[in-house]
Structure 1
Amino acid sequence: MAKRSNASYHDEGHVREYETKAGTRWSYIIRVPKDPDRPELGTKYAESGGHLSEGAAYDAKAKALRERDRGLRVGSKTPTLQEFGEQWLNSLALSESTVGGYRRQLTRHVFPRIGDKPIDQIKTTTLNELYKIMETEPPLNVAETGRWSKADPLGANSISKIATTLGALFDAAVDDHHILDNPGKGRRVKKPPKSKIVEQAPTMVVWNQQQMTAFLVWLRDTRQDSDYTLWKMYAATGARRSEILALRWSDIDFKNRRVHIRRTLNVDKPGHTKKPKNGKSRDFAVSESTIAALREWRKTLMALRGLNLAHGSAWVFPMVGDWERHRNPQSTSQMFQRRVEWAQKDLGVEALPTIHLHEVRHSVATILISEGTDPKTVSERLGHESVRITLDIYTHVTKKSDDAAAALLDFG
């Protein structure tokens, strides 16, 4: 670049011309804060060149001044979406599993498509086009094997979750003065509507009270399953898979028939636990038969390994043969699935539909709500953040309640 001509500087900056091999070009120089969040650090020069005319340089300078006055970082390199996204992910003070979920969303579905764009060039239209592509085209970088090797286009619920993540990412970009407005929020954003999410949602298969009873009786009396108490605890509590596996004997109040959920397994760190999903401990009552089953299970463990397996800090459901370890969540689900298949051979598929371990939790909630249990009680028992979450998940039950209410109000 050739030497620029001298020009005096004033508060609004100035424009000057310079010569290059390609001809005359124009640049502008303005003063901008070193850090918009810390004005006490003073200002610095920001320069932009390569403009083809004096007028273009003045227009660019005016735009830069407006952005400076509105708090943007002018004169600094604007990061790409992927650069800022990685920085944002590393800054999150959330659980490893939550951050890991966000990272998978972005690295699998977003960064390969628009990650190289400067973050200030991503508009609402850019995101709307992205969401449309996600719905019709498979992801660009797919793992060859494993859980994430599926290469189908995304459903409405997955796209909606990614849109929520991007909304939070762009909120952080606004806070960091890289952009003025969040392109991921507002009335022009075309995320999948809730009606489409509901339409695409798989039908929830649950057991009723008679089916749950039939299965547990079959486990106890016909199968004589050594792990009967484990499956009974899922049915008696509605707790999450890793919450039950993280129970210690000190969490069981035998006298008052209460179970305390104080932790859950950390699937990202085998052998470690963390706070329950919503960060709150909870406790609830269980039946006399559940307490009796727990007493018998504790006696069985003591007979196998003595008091070491019955003290307060010991796992309620340790790994068989490796008693100091908790059970693996995935293998526990597989064990449950095998038992359902075995029970179906005796009881029939029509009498006992196929469900997975997580659907025991759904079955518990459905049974409770269907039998008139207050939704707030159900929500607290399940560990949901709010009653609204419970009602949104179990709309199939509330719809039946609404139909029943209509029948009650038929006075004709």
Structure 2
Amino acid sequence: MSLRTFKHEQRIQIAFSYRGVQCRELLPPQPITKTAVTLAAGLRAEIQRKIQAGTFRYSDYFPDSPRARQFDLGGRQVLIADRLDAQLQVYERQVANGQLSPSTLVGYRKAICGIRMQYWRDKTLADATPSMLRDWIGGLGLTAKAARNLLTPLRSVFEDALNDGLIDYNPFDRIALKKLLRQTTKASDYEVDPFTIAERDELLKHARADERPMLQFWFATGLRPGELMALRWSKIDWIGRTARIDRNLVAKTEKGPKTEAGIRDVDLSDEAIAAIIAQKPATFLAGEHVWVNPRTNTPWETDAQIRKTLWEPLCKRAGVRYRNPYQVRHTYASSMLTAGANPWYVAQQLGHVDVQMVFRVYGKFIAQDFQKPKAQGLRLASSGS
């Protein structure tokens, strides 16, 4: 603290360090008295306490100072919409550089451009308070997983804004997000609803000759749709009777699995071997992919293609109650467990990191006395769906 002498007056000046910058500010004109000096010292101490606590806002104390414009006006002037759009551009560059998958970009774009995010687009960074964030998250009406996906770009916006010095704190750091999601999100309405033996047989019976091998193989291996579409002939071990699964096709782009557990050797039963033998004349010499779209004789590009051109018409022909194609994977898992397969073995075959998901998703299908099933002749057990 010091006195500054001007032509017509003296004024008290206080000094402090804020965000690594040495700041000096003149107090309003007033008589220089012992009381004024004491109050100035108290003001400086208060500012230092708030800086230490991370709650100091420059413009609250010195609204006309150039320093206030330097430190505060970024957050007060920058629209969240602009930062969200910039974040989307970051994601697009990451896809171009191979650091982000196109399917993940699709999800982020939906989150940023979706109706729920409109709430923030006309607000500035400084407008966002923890209470506003809590209220908005509490009213999303989404599952916990969907809510987390939606929040990812917004969290990145506030993290970057804090690092850029545009805001004094990240509002996400001041909410109990895990607890909030647990209390306000809804349970997923997706149901594991596997096919019975009779339904499976009807589907295979009504499949066209050029569709049947892929369906039979799918029911016998439980691959993810993207893994099925990406499977190459070079990954089939005829002697060891396994298929090496190390690629997944998502949004027309092949990529590796999310976890190391996703890279695995799936055992091929007699039914699976018979299916790929039946497929050999169609694609073994024609190209790399085992399974292709029989209508175009070109590799499948999306799971939506399978659903719309093959699966939906097949369910109608077979008279089988419609469930989405992913239920084929659930049918494989539930049938293995009902037949007494070891849950740890099933988890490995499915490509799960651990067995917890098997117990959580398929617990009601787990037989009490389980064992590793024999690869020969394992028959789908009735799931009672």
Aligned residues: 331
Equivalent AA in structure 2 for residue 101 of structure 1 = G
State the alpha-carbon separation in 1 of the partners of residues 115 and 339 from structure 2.
42
Contact kept, 8 Å, 2:195 with 2:328, in 1: the verdict is yes
Q: Which residue among 296, 299, 311 is the counterpart of 2:281? A: 299
In the TM superposition, what whole-angstrom CA distance separates every residue of 1:349-396 from its partner, at most 9, and x where no partner exists?
xxx43222111112222222333333333233223344333433x1xx
SS of the counterpart of 1:225?
A: coil
Alignment partner of 1:97 is 2:103: yes
In the TM superposition, what whole-angstrom CA distance separates every residue of 1:46-70 from its partner, at most 9, and x where no partner exists?
6999x9x9999x9699558844785
Partner in structure 2 of residue 398 of structure 1: 363
Q: Which residue among 238, 245, 263 is the counterpart of 1:261? A: 245
* Length-normalised TM-score, structure 2: 0.68
Partner in structure 2 of residue 193 of structure 1: 182
Partner in structure 1 of residue 315 of structure 2: 340
Identify the structure with bigger relative contact order (alpha carbons < 8 Å, sequence gap 6+).
Answer: 2
Judge which range, 76-85 or 234-243, deviates more. Answer: 76-85
In the TM superposition, what whole-angstrom CA distance separates every residue of 1:316-344 from its partner, at most 9, and x where no partner exists?
12344755544543121121121111111
Partner in structure 1 of residue 150 of structure 2: 162
SS of the counterpart of 1:234?
A: helix
In the TM superposition, what whole-angstrom CA distance separates every residue of 1:135-176 from its partner, at most 9, and x where no partner exists?
3xxxxxxxxxxxxxxxxxx56663354346655654555565
Partner in structure 2 of residue 409 of structure 1: none
SS of the counterpart of 1:342?
A: helix
Q: Which residue among 100, 112, 119 is the counterpart of 2:118? A: 112
Contact kept, 8 Å, 1:81 with 1:111, in 2: the verdict is no
Partner in structure 2 of residue 82 of structure 1: 81
State the alpha-carbon separation in 2 of the partners of residues 277 and 205 from structure 1.
25
Give the Å deviation of 1:32. 4.4
SS of the counterpart of 1:134?
A: coil
State the alpha-carbon separation in 1 of the partners of residues 83 and 51 from structure 2.
19
SS of the counterpart of 2:195?
A: coil
Equivalent AA in structure 1 for residue 255 of structure 2 = K
State the alpha-carbon separation in 2 of the partners of residues 376 and 197 from structure 1.
30
Evaluate the alpha carbon distance shift between residue 80 and residue 189 of structure 1 in structure 2; reply closer, same or farther with a 3 A threshold.
farther
State the alpha-carbon separation in 1 of the partners of residues 181 and 325 from structure 2.
29
State the alpha-carbon separation in 2 of the partners of residues 369 and 175 from structure 1.
50
State the alpha-carbon separation in 1 of the partners of residues 349 and 15 from structure 2.
63
Alignment partner of 1:330 is 2:304: yes
Q: Supply the RMSD in Å over aligned alpha carbons.
A: 4.4
Partner in structure 1 of residue 342 of structure 2: 374
SS of the counterpart of 1:265?
A: strand
Q: Which residue among 182, 196, 209 is the counterpart of 1:225? A: 209
Evaluate the alpha carbon distance shift between residue 125 and residue 73 of structure 1 in structure 2; reply closer, same or farther with a 3 A threshold.
closer
Evaluate the alpha carbon distance shift between residue 366 and residue 184 of structure 1 in structure 2; reply closer, same or farther with a 3 A threshold.
farther
Equivalent AA in structure 2 for residue 191 of structure 1 = L
State the alpha-carbon separation in 2 of the partners of residues 386 and 184 from structure 1.
31
Give the Å deviation of 1:236. 1.5
Contact kept, 8 Å, 2:144 with 2:186, in 1: the verdict is yes
Q: Percent identity?
A: 19
State the alpha-carbon separation in 1 of the partners of residues 275 and 82 from structure 2.
54
Contact kept, 8 Å, 1:167 with 1:185, in 2: the verdict is no
Contact kept, 8 Å, 1:167 with 1:184, in 2: the verdict is no
Alignment partner of 1:247 is 2:231: yes
Unaligned residue ranges in structure 1 (runs of 5+): 1-5, 9-15, 18-26, 34-42, 136-153, 345-351, 406-412
State the alpha-carbon separation in 2 of the partners of residues 316 and 94 from structure 1.
27
State the alpha-carbon separation in 2 of the partners of residues 196 and 184 from structure 1.
19
State the alpha-carbon separation in 2 of the partners of residues 188 and 276 from structure 1.
28
In the TM superposition, what whole-angstrom CA distance separates every residue of 1:48-103 from its partner, at most 9, and x where no partner exists?
99x9x9999x9699558844785999844235433444444516643232233133
Equivalent AA in structure 2 for residue 228 of structure 1 = R
In the TM superposition, what whole-angstrom CA distance separates every residue of 1:233-276 from its partner, at most 9, and x where no partner exists?
22112111121111111111122111111212241xx4x42213
Equivalent AA in structure 1 for residue 243 of structure 2 = V
Judge which range, 62-71 or 126-135, deviates more. Answer: 62-71
State the alpha-carbon separation in 2 of the partners of residues 320 and 252 from structure 1.
21
Evaluate the alpha carbon distance shift between residue 373 and residue 61 of structure 1 in structure 2; reply closer, same or farther with a 3 A threshold.
farther
State the alpha-carbon separation in 1 of the partners of residues 87 and 46 from structure 2.
31
Contact kept, 8 Å, 1:375 with 1:390, in 2: the verdict is yes
State the alpha-carbon separation in 2 of the partners of residues 204 and 242 from structure 1.
19
* Length-normalised TM-score, structure 1: 0.64
Alignment partner of 1:183 is 2:158: no
Give the Å deviation of 1:190. 6.3
